[in-house]
Structure 1
Amino acid sequence: MFEKRRCSREMDENLSSPFIGMRHLLCLLIFCGLCLVYGMRVNLSMAIVAMMDNAAANPNFAEYAWSEQTKSHVLSSFFFGYIFAQVPAGSWARRYGGRLLLFISVSFSSVLALLTPLSVSVGDWPLLCALRFCQGLVQGVTYPTIATIMAEWAPIEERSAMLTYCCSGLELGIVMMLASSGMLCSSDWGWPSTFYIPGALGLIWSAIWFIFGASTPNNCKYITLAERTLIATSLKRNMAQSESSKVTHPIPWLKICTSKPFLVLILSQCAYSWCFWTLLTQIPSYIKSILGKDIQSNAFYSALPYLTMLGLSLVLCPLASYLEKSKRLNATVSRKIFNTIGQWTPAVTLVYLGFLRTDQADLAIVLLTLTVTVSTVTHFGFQANHLDLSPHFAGTLMGIANSASNMMSIIAPLVVGYIVTDTTNLHQWRIIFSLAGGISFFGNLMFLFFGTAKVQLWNEMPQMVVEVKRQDGQHFTEVKNMEKDDGNVGGSRETLNLV
C-alpha cells in the first residue's frame, strides 16, 4: 500500500510541468512563422495598388498598366499553387516530420519573396504569376504540417487555445504587412521593400526553427520529462511509441471522403475562405475606389480589421481553454456556438455593407472591421474541428479541407474581377458583398445540422481480437491491426493480454 501511494505521488510530480513549457515556445515559433508566411502572402494585395498607380505612391519605380482581369489573375495565381501540396502534405508530415516540412515551406517561400521584384522587371505579370504559383506551392504544406505538429504537442485540454495562438500569427502578419506597406510603397525603397523585408526575416526565422523546432515531444532535446509525460498522458499515448508504427498506419481515404461531419467541415471552411480572401484581396481596392482614401490611409484602414481580429482571438483563448477544462460545454455544442457567431455575424454585416452609399465611409470602415474581427471566432469552431474528428490524421484532414477551401481563394478574386469591371461602381460591389454573405450563412447552416466534435471510428486502425489457447492451457487474447476492412491482417503492431 505504501509503495502504491509513493508511485502515485511520483506520477503526480511527473505530471506537474512548468507553467510555461516547451510546447508554448513551439507555439510562439509557429506563431512567428505564420506571421511571416502571411506577410509574404498578402504583400501583393497592397503592393499591386502601388505597382498600377505609382504616381500616387512612388514615381521612381515602374508603373504597370494591367487591367482588372490581369490583376485578378495575378492575385489568384498564388492559390493555384497552394492547393496542389495540401492533400499529400499531411502524409509527408507524418513520414518525414513536421519540423523539416515547415522549415522547407518558410525558407523556400522567403527566397521566392526576395526574387519577386526582379521577376516583375524581367518577365512582367506572366513571370510574376509563375513565381507566385511556386510560392503558393511551398506554402501549401504549412497548415497540414502545423495540424500534424499540434496533434502531437497539444494536450486535449489546451487544444483550442494552442491552435488559436498559433493561427493568430496569420492575423499579425496581415496587420504588419498591410499597416506598413503604405509607408514602404511611398518611401525611397518603394513597393519592392514589401517583398524584401518579410523575405529576409523569413530566412532568419528558418534558422531559429531549425535549431529549436521539433516534430514530436519525443524528438525535442529541450523538453522536460514532466512536460513530456503530461502531454503523453493527456493524449493517452505511450511516450516510447515508435514513429515507424505511425507511418505504417494506413489512411482510410474512402471513409474520410464519405464522412458526413468532415464533409460539412469542408463546406464551412470553404464558405469562410470565400469571405476571408474576398475581403483580404479586395479591401484595398474598395477603400481606394469607393471610399476615396489615399495609399497611406488605405493601408491603415485595410490593416485595422485584422488588428482587432488578432486582439479578439487572443482575448478569447483563455475563455475557450476554460470552457474545455471545466467541461461546462459539450465540445460539439461549443464548436457550433463559436462557429455560428463567427460566420453568421459577418453574413449580416456584409449584406449591410453592400447597401451603403459612397458618403458613408466611416460606417463602411466600421462594418469592414466588425466583419473581419468577428470571423476570428471560427478558430474555436470549424478550425479546431480537424483535430476533434481525427487526431491521428489531423494533417491529412487539414490538407484535404484546405485544398478544397483554397479553390474558393482562386475563384473569389476571379469572380470579383469579372463582376467588378468598374471599381467605382457601387452596385457591382453590392453583388460581391451579398454573395459572400449568403455563402457564409449557408456554410454554417450545414455545420449546425451535421457537424460534431466526436472522434470518428476511422481515426484508429481496424483491429481484430483473436482468442489463443496455448498448450499449457493458458488463454490469451491477441489484438492484431488490420490494414484492410476485408479481414487481411497486417503485422505492424501486436499486443498480447492475459485473460
Structure 2
Amino acid sequence: MTCMINSTAEIDEDYAIEKMDYVQNYDAQKCTPANNSKDPIDYGGNLHWSKHQQNIVFSGQFWGGCLTVLPSMLLIQKYPAKYVYLIVIFLYTLSNSLTPLFAQHLGYQATFVVRFLMGMSDLAGVTESPLAALFCQSSFGWPAVFYVAGIIGTIWCTIWLFAGSSNPYECRKITEKERNYLLSANGSNLKKQATSSWRNVPFKAIFTSIPFLAQLQCHFLMCFSSALLETYLPTYFKEVLLLGVITNGLYISLPNFFNLLGKVVWGIGFDHLKQNDILTPTASAKFSQAVSSYGMAISFICLALFIDCSNRTLALIICCFLFAFQGIECSGFVTSLLSLAPRYTASLSSISLFAAQLGALATPYIVSAYQTKVLTNSSAKNSSDLGCNSLEGSISHKLSNMYDFRNYFHHFWLRYGKI
C-alpha cells in the first residue's frame, strides 16, 4: 500500500486535507527526509485514496478470511485436501494478480472485493519486502509486485497438481517404507477423519473448557498484533521514520528474519528442557506465552516513548526484538492448541482461527479510530499499538496463570483426547 498511494496528493476526506506536513511534530533538523524536503515521502504511487479508503481495502482480506474459516472445515472433510488446497492457492493467486487492474481502473471498492477473495483463500504468507521495494522503485512500478507473485503462485499450483496428494495412500513420491511408517502411526484414523461429522464434536465441552477459552483470547490478540504489524508497519517506517522505499523494504525483512529465529531457537531450546524433564509441557507453554506477550508489550512501549526519525537504528533493533517475541508464541498458545484434545485438533483449530480472524478484522477499524489529522504524530499512532498489545500481555499472562492448565489438559484428554 505504501508504494500504491500518491503521498504528495493524498486526500483525507474526514479532515479535507490536500497535503499533510509529515514533519511538523518533530525537530526539523533531526527529521528531515533524505531529499531534504518537508514534503511527504512519496514512493511513486498513483492512487489517490484517503486513509479511510485504505483501511476499507485492508479490511477486505480479513472479512474474507473471517467468513470462510469455519466453512472451510466442511470442505476439507468432504473433498480431497489436495484439490481444496489447490483451489485455495489458485484463487489467492488470481485475486492477487487482478489487484493492480482493479485498483487503477475500478477504485477502492473493487479492490476491497479482490482483497475479500484473497481473504477467502488466505494462507498468511510473508511478502518478500526487499524484492517488493525494488519493484516499487523500478520502471515497472508497484503492479509488478502483484504480477510476479501471481507468476510464482501459478508455478506452485502446477507443481502441486502433479506432486501433491491428500494422504499416504495416494502419494507416489514416497518409498514403501515411508508409507508404511505413516500408515502405522496414523493410517487407522485417516478414513475416520475423512468421514467424521461435526455432530460428533463435543462443542459444549469445548466452549466450557477454560484452557481453550484462554487460548482463544491469545489467538485473537496475536492475530490482531500480526495484522497490525504486517499491514501498517511499512506505513510507520515511511511516515514516522521517513525511510526511503529500499530502506523500508530492508527494515521490514530483518524483523521477519528474527521472527523465524525466535520460533526455531526458542522452540528447540524448550523441547530440550522438556525432554530432560526440566520443564513440564504445561509450564513450558505458560512461560513461553508470558515471555512473548510481555516482551511484545514492552517493545511497543519503547516504540511509543523513545523512537522518532532521529534514531532509526534503535527503532530497527526494537522491531527485531518485537518480532522475535512474537515468534515465541508458537511455543505458547499454539502448542497448547495442539495438545488440548488431539482427536479434535481440526475442530479446535477451526474455531480458534475464526477468533483469530476476528482479531485481524478489528485491526483496520481500531487503527482508523486512532488516526489523527497528522499521521506522524507518533503519540497518537502508537497509543493504539501500546494499548492493545499491553492488553495482550496482561490478559494472556493472567489467564494462563489464573487456571491450572495441567489439570484441565488432563481431564480434557481423559474424556475426549486420544493420544
Question: Do Structure 1 and Structure 2 share a fold, with TM-score over 0.5?
Answer: yes
**Closer, same or farther: CA 371–71 of 1 in aligned 2, 3 Å:** same
Q: Is 1:200 aligned to residue 159 of structure 2?
A: no
**Closer, same or farther: CA 187–50 of 1 in aligned 2, 3 Å:** farther
The structure 1 residue matched to 2:386, chosen from 434, 440, 464, is 434
Contact 2:77–2:195 (CA under 8 A) maintained in structure 1: no
C-alpha deviations, 1:255-301, integer Å up to 9, x for none?
Answer: 22222211111101111112221122111111112111112211211
Tell me how far apart the structure 2 counterparts of residues 240 and 343 of structure 1 sit (CA, whole Å): 36
User: 1:278 aligns to what?
Assistant: 228
Contact 1:87–1:399 (CA under 8 A) maintained in structure 2: yes
User: 1:368 aligns to what?
Assistant: 319
Contact 1:276–1:372 (CA under 8 A) maintained in structure 2: no
Tell me how far apart the structure 2 counterparts of residues 341 and 249 of structure 1 sit (CA, whole Å): 38
Tell me how far apart the structure 1 counterparts of residues 313 and 198 of structure 2 sit (CA, whole Å): 57
**Higher normalized strand content (fraction of residues):** 1
Q: SS state of the match for residue 57, structure 1?
A: coil
For residues 242-391 of structure 1, what are the structure 2 equivalents within 5 Å?
245-246=195-196, 250-323=200-273, 325-358=275-308, 359-391=310-342
The structure 2 residue matched to 1:443, chosen from 392, 396, 416, is 396
Q: Is 1:88 aligned to residue 71 of structure 2?
A: yes
After TM superposition, give the deviation of residue 233 of structure 1 in Å: 5.0
Contact 2:2–2:43 (CA under 8 A) maintained in structure 1: no
- The code of the aligned residue for 2:399 comes to M
After TM superposition, give the deviation of residue 202 of structure 1 in Å: 1.0
Q: Is 1:184 aligned to residue 135 of structure 2?
A: yes
After TM superposition, give the deviation of residue 390 of structure 1 in Å: 2.5
Tell me how far apart the structure 2 counterparts of residues 51 and 390 of structure 1 sit (CA, whole Å): 50
- Runs (5+) with no aligned partner, structure 1: 1-44, 144-169, 462-499
Contact 1:93–1:395 (CA under 8 A) maintained in structure 2: no
Structure having the higher Rg: 1
The structure 1 residue matched to 2:100, chosen from 99, 102, 117, is 117
After TM superposition, give the deviation of residue 328 of structure 1 in Å: 4.4
After TM superposition, give the deviation of residue 323 of structure 1 in Å: 4.5
Contact 2:220–2:355 (CA under 8 A) maintained in structure 1: yes
After TM superposition, give the deviation of residue 121 of structure 1 in Å: 2.2
- The code of the aligned residue for 2:251 comes to Y
For residues 222-233 of structure 1, what are the structure 2 equivalents within 5 Å?
222-232=173-183
Tell me how far apart the structure 2 counterparts of residues 280 and 365 of structure 1 sit (CA, whole Å): 15
User: 2:32 aligns to what?
Assistant: none
Q: Is 1:418 aligned to residue 369 of structure 2?
A: yes
Contact 1:285–1:423 (CA under 8 A) maintained in structure 2: no
**Closer, same or farther: CA 459–188 of 1 in aligned 2, 3 Å:** farther
- The code of the aligned residue for 2:43 comes to A
**Range 299-308 or range 445-454, more displaced:** 445-454
The structure 2 residue matched to 1:393, chosen from 324, 340, 344, is 344
Contact 2:4–2:46 (CA under 8 A) maintained in structure 1: no
After TM superposition, give the deviation of residue 50 of structure 1 in Å: 6.1
Q: TM-score, normalised by structure 2?
A: 0.82
**Closer, same or farther: CA 432–384 of 1 in aligned 2, 3 Å:** same
After TM superposition, give the deviation of residue 324 of structure 1 in Å: 5.3
**Closer, same or farther: CA 242–349 of 1 in aligned 2, 3 Å:** closer
Aligned residues: 381
After TM superposition, give the deviation of residue 247 of structure 1 in Å: 5.0
Tell me how far apart the structure 2 counterparts of residues 376 and 230 of structure 1 sit (CA, whole Å): 31
Q: SS state of the match for residue 188, structure 1?
A: coil
- Runs (5+) with no aligned partner, structure 2: 11-40
Contact 2:344–2:417 (CA under 8 A) maintained in structure 1: no
- The code of the aligned residue for 1:346 comes to M
Q: TM-score, normalised by structure 1?
A: 0.70
C-alpha deviations, 1:33-73, integer Å up to 9, x for none?
Answer: xxxxxxxxxxxx44445688798333xxx622211111111
After TM superposition, give the deviation of residue 377 of structure 1 in Å: 0.9
Q: State the identity %.
A: 21
- The code of the aligned residue for 1:254 comes to K
User: 1:33 aligns to what?
Assistant: none
For residues 152-171 of structure 1, what are the structure 2 equivalents within 5 Å?
170=125
**Closer, same or farther: CA 388–70 of 1 in aligned 2, 3 Å:** same
Q: What root-mean-square deviation, in Å, do the aligned CA atoms of Structure 1 and Structure 2 show?
A: 2.7
Contact 1:213–1:220 (CA under 8 A) maintained in structure 2: yes
